[in-house]
Amino acid sequence: MPVIVFLEILIFGFVFSGLFGLWVHLWVWILGGRNGAGQTLKAFLYGLTPALIFGWIPVVGILFAVWSFILDILGLRELAGLSPARAALAMVIAVLIPLVVVAVFLVVFFLPIIHAAMMSSRMGY
């Protein structure tokens, strides 16, 4: 069973990293990067390496995630041909939009459940 879970996580990680790299490329392209999706994916995946290797370590993993984010910006600057500001903007937009969507999803779907649970505990059910 642990081998199957490991393989599932590994496969999902590869697929998700590739899809998120394409999502980053969309924003790179919108902001003027014209060197192709291959260069964007290369910059994104190389930059992601520290977070993938050391991200599992508690507390220190956050530092490696920030380092990966900075490396992604530097990689996009070099390989996608963007200015540092546009590369940073592409990464910030690519990260913030999914975070906002997840936050809205959590509020819309879980707030009514929490509210109902609080109301039922008040009523003594």
Burial of 16 (0-12, 13-18, 19+ CB in 10 A): exposed
The structural domains of the chain, with segments of one domain joined by +, span 2-123
Does residue 123 surpass a pLDDT of 70?
Answer: no
Asked if 33 and 80 touch (Cβ cutoff 8 Å), the reply is yes
Per residue in 17-33, pLDDT (tens digit) is 999 999 999 999 999 99
Residue 52: CB partners within 8 Å, gap ≥ 6?
13, 68
4, two tokens? 């199957």
Give 59-71 pLDDT, tens digit per residue.
999 999 999 999 9
Q: How far apart are CA 54 and CA 96, in angstroms?
A: 23
Count of other CB atoms within 10 angstroms of residue 17: 15
Q: What's the predicted TM-score (pTM) here?
A: 0.83
Helix axes 84-123, 60-79, angle to 10 degrees: 140
